[in-house]
Amino acid sequence: MASDAKGFSKKDPVVCRGLGKTWAAGTSRAHEALKGIDLDVKPGEFVVLLGPSGCGKSTLLYLIAGLEDVTTGELNHFGEPVTGPSPDRSLIFQETSLFPWLTVWENVAFGLSIRGASHAERKEAAVQALREVGLTAAMNKRPDELSGGMRQRVAVARALAMRPKVLLMDEPFAALDVQTRQKMQDFLLDVWRDSGATVLFVTHHIDEAVALSDRVVVFTSRPGRIKTIVTNDLPRPRDPFAPESEAMRRHLTAQLRDEVDRAFAEQESFGA
């Protein structure tokens, strides 16, 4: 079992020690989603969380975002325990989460309006963030006038406007078609490089993990544990057709196959 359990760094944006989460703890419906997670994420690192559906990787993201309470273990953010949500850690969802009653720029400036920033400040920050995602022209449109890919770029701009240290992304491109998804991956790598933020990216797509990650954390399911952590030091920009990429894909596929087989066997035993 690969694990990062060692010293305790105040410089690391995310440090998990024996982290566990049980839904509906103490009731008959109690369900252990995560168990014994040890993970250190370095500043500026791009970490992909890979695993079959229902393995708890999204739960880990919600814990790091501070939207859910930790059941067991420790979770630290720059040496401070995570006790609730913070603009330092922005979450981006698969499904569009833009407010339909606000224009694109008002959506991007939403976090600043929460802080009570003036109209001029908000507009300036929104224009700046929209420039970073190449969407200044759409600033006065409404979310439903945009394509799925553009909406996700606006969601990224909204997160960037808060100048977060950590970007948490929960299968953000899963609802997009293959061509748009590839474009969005390149776009995300640009944003990551320019912003210097740490990214934790949940996906069940092996191609996506190979294309994006510095490290891939492979999960087992029920309860979710870390099966292995694979370092991906392929040179960037990456060629998905290079033999090295192919080898990485093979390796990750082999790691995941056992888990998928196990999940299937479990489902079949439920059916019997």
Partner 1 sequence: MADAAPDMRAGGARASGGATAPPARAPLVAPEKLRGFIASFGWTVASVGLFTLIWEFCWLVGWADPKLLPPPHIFLGQIGEQTKFFNTATRWAVGVNPDSGPTGLESVMVTVAATMARVVAGLVIASVLAISLGVLIRYYVMVERLTLPTITLLSPVSPIAWLPVAIFLFGIGNAPAIFMVVVALFFHMVLATVTHIDNVNRNFIHVARTMGATKRQVYARVVIPAILPGLLMVLRLNLFGAWMVVLVAESTGVGHGLGQVIMLARNTFNPSLVFFVIALIGVLGFLTDWALRMVQHRVLYWLPEKGAHHGL
What are the residues binding partner 1 (CB under 8 A)? 65-67, 85-87, 89-91, 93, 95, 97, 99-101, 110-111, 113-115, 142, 144, 158, 162
**How far, in Å, CA of 240 to CA of 72, rounded?**
39
Identify the bridge partners of residue 167 per DSSP, sorted by sequence position.
90, 199
Nearer of residues 161 and 248 to partner 1, judged by Cβ: 161
Q: Which is nearer to partner 1, 165 or 225 (CB)?
A: 165
User: Rounded to an integer, what distance in angstroms lies between the CA atom of residue 89 and that of residue 15?
Assistant: 13
| Shortest distance in whole angstroms from residue 91 CB to partner 1 | 5
| Cβ closest to partner 1, residue 65 vs residue 209 | 65
Give the dihedral of Cα atoms 67, 68, 74, 80; nearest 10 deg: 20
Q: How many CB atoms are closer than 10 A to CB 54? A: 14
In the complex, the smallest distance separating the C-beta of residue 106 from partner 1, rounded to whole angstroms, is 11
Task: Please give the distance of CA 254 from its chain centroid, rounded to a whole number.
Answer: 23
Q: Which is nearer to partner 1, 66 or 224 (CB)?
A: 66
Give me the residues paired with residue 31 across strands: 23
Amino acid identity of residue 203, one-letter, is T
Residue 116, burial from CB neighbour count under 10 angstroms (0-12, 13-18, 19+): exposed
Count of residues making up the chain: 272
For 47, the token pair is 């970490």
Smallest separation (angstroms) from partner 1 to the CB of 248: 32
Q: Work out how close the CB of 188 gets to partner 1 at its nearest, in angstroms, rounded to a whole number.
A: 18
Report in angstroms how near the CB of residue 101 gets to partner 1 at its nearest. Answer: 5
Which residue's CB is nearer to partner 1, number 97 or number 180? 97
Smallest gap from Cβ 122 to partner 1, in A, equals 13
115 vs 257 by CB, closer to partner 1:
115
